[in-house]
Amino acid sequence: MSYDDIFERMRRRALRIVRDVMSEFDEMEAWLRSMMDELEETIRPEDLLDERLNELRRGALKPLASIYDAGSELVITIDLPGSDARTIDIKVFPNSVRVEASVRSELVRRAFGETYWARNISKYEGEYALPATVDPSTARVSVRSGMVVIRVKKAAR
Amino acid sequence: MVPRLPLAAYEEEILGYNFIEYGELGRPRLLVLGLPDAGLVGPIASGHLVRSLGMQDVVGVESYGYLPPAALILGGSVKYPLRIYVKGELAVLVTEIMPVPTGIVPLSIAIVEFARKRGVQYLVGLSGVGNPMRAESQPQLYWIATTPEAEKLASALEGVAKRFPDGLIVGPYATILKESVKRGVNTVLLLSDSFVDIPDPEAAAVVVDGLSRIAGLKVDTTQLLQEAETLRLRLQGMAREAKDALAKMGKGYEYRAPLIYS
């Protein structure tokens, strides 16, 4: 083996080490950048704060809802835990559903304890856009343990 | 006396997460995970275990990149939002707050690596599998195991749970399963049919019953069911945060068939 070969092998090895180190730095930089991007852009804490403050100012929580397209009909589940069944008011429109209900104060106390921001909570209020136009006259509503399930047929085209 | 956070006896950093041990974790046989996923089944079930078994928190998990700068005040004491509780051979990871979406994968890997390093014999994940028709059906229990030893543990569920059918899983537990296979960690994932984005204490009771069987525990779930409405109201905010984070990490992929069936 000539000196040239040995030198060439050393040169290649040195290049490989430099390349590995550079790629480690690149990976670390990309990782740090993605972390910063996530904190600044994805979480959008300002939206979270505004949304929660709006609800609490009015004392009205927007209920969690889940809408499932079951082919010929939509199944809309709206969670109203602790609601007073006599006060549940549901309105089904062709393109949306609106719900209102009072929440029992003892359940608010049990759920949130002495938390200062929860003292005003007294009702649920929510309106949900539907993914398909429905025929409101076909709506069937059932309520069980504070959960409302609405089945409504899609409007004929 | 002003309650203080105990000084860390031991601290270890894994992928941007610090595991701060301020009590005696020992070498638990089972580490149960209550990470937020469909129906918040994990957080509800893990919270119930901690309360009903009177467990003690010994490890806090912190990240100044992936978690908001939040501290939890419980009974006048300052706590980490992610904590590991222990009692005897059982440890439970409780999650109060969702990491940012890019922090979910590193957290899942860090948990598996922490368990491996600490010699935990079994990881048991508690979760929900979002079923759009959940309102009209009772929750069914499923299991997935990563090693033959984990399968042996899951065999105690015969007759009450089904092996998870072919399909896709997206979320923190998907990473935990893959990393467990890669690192040879015995992991059993217990999943119950649950609401997709509404907290589901009934589904949580089903996974707690499953855990009781495989861990040889007696955990009463009556209170969990009695307090279902209170829990659903309390966890409304967390459910919205979890839905947002899981949607951003591609939860939608779960609702389609895999390319190849076995």
Token pair for B179: 């990393």
Whether B229 and chain A come into contact, CB under 8 Å, resolves to yes
The mean pLDDT of chain A is: 85
User: Considering only CA atoms, which of A81, A115, A128 is closest in space to residue B239?
Assistant: A81
In this predicted structure, the answer to whether residue B3 has a pLDDT above a threshold of 60 is: no
Rounded (10°) angle between helices B101-117 and B236-248:
90
- pLDDT: which is higher, A58 or A41: A58
Going B233 to B238 to B243 to B246, the CA torsion angle's sign is negative
Of A35, A77, A110, the CB nearest to B65: A35
Tokens 């200062």 belong to residue: A116
Of B102, B227, B228, the CB nearest to A34: B102
| The Cα angle at residue B155 between residues B152 and B161, in degrees rounded to 5 | 145
DSSP state of A40: I
Q: How confident is the model at residue B5 (pLDDT cuts 50, 70, 90)?
A: low
In single-letter form, the type of residue at position A136 comes to P
Q: Do A77 and B101 touch (CB under 8 A)?
A: no
Of A42, A79, A111, the CB nearest to B234: A111
Rounded-to-10 torsion of CA B134, B136, B141, B142: -60
Task: Report the pLDDT value the prediction gives residue B14, as an integer from 0 to 100.
Answer: 95
Rounded-to-10 torsion of CA B72, B170, A68, B166: -140
Q: Is A56 exposed, middle or buried, given 0-12, 13-18 or 19+ CB atoms closer than 10 A?
A: middle
Q: Do A81 and B230 touch (CB under 8 A)?
A: yes
The residues, any chain, with a CB within 8 Å of residue A31's CB and separated by 6 or more, are none
Q: Do B100 and A108 touch (CB under 8 A)?
A: no
Please state which CATH class domain B31-54+89-253 belongs to: alpha beta
In this predicted model, what pLDDT tens digit does every residue of A101-133 receive, in sequence order?
999 988 888 888 878 788 888 999 999 999 999
Token pair for B259: 């390319």
Q: Do A38 and B233 touch (CB under 8 A)?
A: no
How large is the ipTM? 0.82
Whether B226 and chain A come into contact, CB under 8 Å, resolves to no
Q: How confident is the model at residue B13 (pLDDT cuts 50, 70, 90)?
A: very high
Whether B17 and chain A come into contact, CB under 8 Å, resolves to no
Task: Report the pLDDT value the prediction gives residue B168, as an integer from 0 to 100.
Answer: 87
Q: How confident is the model at residue B258 (pLDDT cuts 50, 70, 90)?
A: confident
Q: Where are the domains of chain A?
A: 1-43, 60-153
DSSP state of B188: E
A105, B230 contact by CB (below 8 A): no
In this predicted structure, the answer to whether residue A154 has a pLDDT above a threshold of 60 is: yes
| Nearest chain B residue to A118, by CA | B234
| Nearest chain B residue to A148, by CA | B135
Going A80 to A86 to A88 to A94, the CA torsion angle's sign is positive
Task: Report the pLDDT value the prediction gives residue B244, as an integer from 0 to 100.
Answer: 79
User: Residue B113's CB: how many other CB atoms inside 10 A?
Assistant: 18
Q: How confident is the model at residue B137 (pLDDT cuts 50, 70, 90)?
A: confident
Token pair for B206: 């089903």
Q: Where are the domains of chain B?
A: 31-54+89-253
B97, B67 contact by CB (below 8 A): yes
Token pair for A140: 């069937």
Of B101, B196, B237, the CB nearest to A42: B101
> Domain A60-153 falls in which CATH fold?
Immunoglobulin-like (2.60.40)
Average pLDDT over residues B93-122: 93
Task: Report the pLDDT value the prediction gives residue A36, as an integer from 0 to 100.
Answer: 59
B interface test, pick of A34, A67, A79, A143 with most B CB neighbours within 10 Å: A79
DSSP per-residue letters across B5-27? PPPPSEEEEETTEEEEE-S----
In single-letter form, the type of residue at position B178 comes to K
Task: Report the pLDDT value the prediction gives residue A37, as an integer from 0 to 100.
Answer: 56
User: Considering only CA atoms, which of B105, B108, B13 is closest in space to residue B62?
Assistant: B13
In this predicted structure, the answer to whether residue B4 has a pLDDT above a threshold of 80 is: no
Task: Report the pLDDT value the prediction gives residue A48, as an integer from 0 to 100.
Answer: 77
User: pTM higher than 0.90, yes or no?
Assistant: no
Task: Report the pLDDT value the prediction gives residue B246, as an integer from 0 to 100.
Answer: 78
A interface test, pick of B224, B233, B248, B251 with most A CB neighbours within 10 Å: B233
- B142 min Cα distance to partner chain A (Å): 23
B 111-170: CB under 8 A from A: 132-136
- In B, which residues are within 8 Å of A43 by CB distance? 68, 100
- In B, which residues are within 8 Å of A38 by CB distance? 66, 100-103
Phi, psi values for residue B53, rounded to 5°: -95, 0
Q: How confident is the model at residue A4 (pLDDT cuts 50, 70, 90)?
A: confident
Token pair for B84: 């590991």
Task: Report the pLDDT value the prediction gives residue B189, as an integer from 0 to 100.
Answer: 97
Q: Do B197 and A68 touch (CB under 8 A)?
A: no
User: Residue B242's CB: how many other CB atoms inside 10 A?
Assistant: 26
